[in-house]
Structure formats: structure tokens, C-alpha cells
Amino acid sequence: MGDPSRAPPLTRASVIEAHELIKEYVHLTPVLTCHTLDTIASTPQEFTALSDTPHDGLDVPAKPKIRFFFKCENFQRVGAFKVRGAFHALKRLSKEELEKGVVTHSSGNHAQALALAARTFNIPAHIVMPTISTPSKIAGTRSYGARIVFSGSTSQEREAVVSTVIAQTGATLVPPYDHPNIILGQGTMALELEAQVTALLAPSEGPRKLDAVITPCGGGGMLSGVATALLGSGIRVFGAEPSFQGADDARRGIAARERVTHVKSLTIADGLRTPLGEWTWGIVSDRSKVAGVFSVSEDQIKAAMRLVLERMKVFIEPSAAVPLAVCLFNEEFRRLVEREGGEEGWNVGVVFSGGNTTVEAVAKIFETTDRKEERAAGEVGALGEREVQDVAG
């Protein structure tokens, strides 16, 4: 995308300008509430829920009061927030750059978003995708008319293929997350969320507004954009990551005061397997912009996803469930809300980042979980039978 210095500054005013540029191309996604999830989040966890977690052994679980407002980017075009950054990036290109087309490397939502934006502006799009990409996402990207070029799965292999495409076509690279224009585009959702929640609260609760927003964090483009958009608003911004196999690179990097540059994780939250980039690290690691990053386990992500599916009747991908999982299960975050929110509690905006998964994939996730539960129940039942036999003997 050329020299980042040509991009607007990373400010709230620039996010407002970006929203004006892209709002005709993106959906104003709804904000949903769910009293049942509010109640669950505002109920102290049972001690069993804390076992085998970093919070095991706590004497008293946190008692926060949380009211959720879910920004449903799973209803966005291509099923994910990524179209915001893609359209803003293309709106910032020159006529000459547009004529030569665009290229990116992505295995999922950014690939589809850029393909759609390129088709909208009638320009070529070259998408480098690992051969192990989900078939449904390959098909989705191809359906928008993009040329797909396959590569190996490592970042070095993907970047080598991108360089070849650029040399052959002169296409402009539009990275998935680590560029100011992408960050500003993604931040537009926060402006909408802030206004939508204010409107929802106004009739019943006067001037009250959002206290916090929590988003998934992979490469950090969305979290950085939301933090940029809400800087100075009084709304705290938090990030959420999976902890499986070190996928919580942002949290670990902040603790070590050094960016983690490589992540190799097979977390079910496949959209969050990417480490922070240089631009996003600069924002996410700044406590004046992002108040904290928290992580959750695979089982906690599954539990949150199940609640959304069963209680809200909303279809989301695992990555989108991670912020809710933090609010429900991460005791560090819950104690923060209890301490800072007091008796009134917090109005928390939660970003559902996308819904690009399949029924088959979701069934497989819960099939594994259900089998574990069945085995555990069987073991408990067998133990009970042995105890009865011992007493009878």
C-alpha cells in the first residue's frame, strides 16, 4: 500500500473521515442485547469452573455486573468486519494504483473482503492463500472474481509468492492488518457501536453510555482501530485472545515489553493465530489506548460460542466468541469490572467479528466436547456402580 506516511494520522478524526469514505459500501451492522447472557456474566463463577485455570484456588470468585451490547459484524458483507479496512484501503489508492490491481496474502476473511472490494471497483485482485486454507473460504474468495495463487503455510512462503505476483503485475499490496489505512477502516465499527449504544440507552437510562469495548485480537488491526476511534471518549478498550499453544502473543508481549513476532498455534479461533505487526503493536502495547489484553482456553471459547448459538440464536465463528469468553470466564477481567464498575457495573460492547465457518465445522467442535462430557459421565457412573457393589458386599 505504499509508504504508510502517506496515510492519514491515527486519530479519531481520521476514523470519522474513513467512515465517510466507506459507509456506502458497508452494512451498518446491528447491536444486539441478551438479558440471559447479562445474568450469566453477572453471576459469580462456581469453583469448578475455575479448576485447572490460572484462577484455580481463589477463595471468592468475582461478582461483576455486566450489561452486554453485541456489535454483530458477523452480519457484515462477506460475513466479517474485514470489508471495512479493505474498502478504506482501496479508497486511498491512486487511479494508477487501482488500474494495476491489488494483492494480499490471507487464508480467510481479509481475502474475501479484498476480493469483494476489488470487484466493486472493477480492478484485478490477486489473493495468495495457503494450500491448507478452509475450502469454504477459498470458494468464497473465488466467487468474488479474485485470482487465487496458492502458497505454503508459513509467512515466509506466503510473502515470497506475493513478491512474485507484484513483480509480474505491478499490483499494490494491501496487508491484512498492519497498515494505518487498514486500522482506520476497521475502527469505523467503534463509531457506529458508540452511537448505537447511546441511542439504545437514552430512552431508559439518560446520559449513560458504553464503559468498555472488548474485541478479538489476532494481528491487531481491529483492536487498534477501535482503540484509535475511541481514544479520548472515556470508553476503555480491551483485547481478547486464545491462550492455546501461545496464541496469546499480545498479552505475553505486553508482559515482557517486547513484541512476539511468531505464533504457531492450532487454536480453534483460527482468525487469531497471527501475531501483532509493527503498527498494531505500537497501539496495543500502549496502555493509554488499550487498557489490557486477556486470554481464555479452548473450552471456554467453546462454552461462549455455545451460549451465543443457543441463547442468542446467532451464528458466529470461534474467533468471534473469544471476547465474550473473557467476560464470562477470565477472573482477572471480571475482578477489574467488579472493582471499577462497583454496584452500577459496566456497559460492555462486545464485537462479534465474523461468522465465516460452516455447520460441519461447528458440529465437529462440539462433537469433541460432547464426547469428553459423555466419557466423564460414564466414568462417574461406573464409579457409582462400584461403590454400590462395595456396600452390598
Active-site residue set: 82, 107
- Contacts for 95-99: CB closer than 8 Å, 24+ residues apart: 97/2, 97/172, 98/123, 99/123
Gap between the Cα atoms of 167 and 340, Å rounded:
53
- Please state, as a whole number, how many other Cβ atoms lie within 10 Å of the Cβ of residue 249: 27
- Cβ contact 153:132 at 8 Å: yes
Residue type, 150: F
Dihedrals phi, psi of 214, to nearest 5 degrees: -125, 130
Dihedrals phi, psi of 344, to nearest 5 degrees: -75, -30
- Cβ contact 351:82 at 8 Å: no
Q: In this structure, what C-alpha cell is assigned to residue 256?
A: 515482557
Q: Which residues are CB-contacts of 269 (< 8 A; sequence separation ≥ 6)?
A: 216, 242, 247, 301, 318, 319, 321, 322
Q: Which residues are CB-contacts of 148 (< 8 A; sequence separation ≥ 6)?
A: 127, 128, 129, 138, 141, 142
Q: In this structure, what C-alpha cell is assigned to residue 13?
A: 478524526
Name the nearest CA neighbour of 320 among 281, 372, 362, 363: 362
Gap between the Cα atoms of 288 and 237, Å rounded:
10
Gap between the Cα atoms of 389 and 383, Å rounded:
10
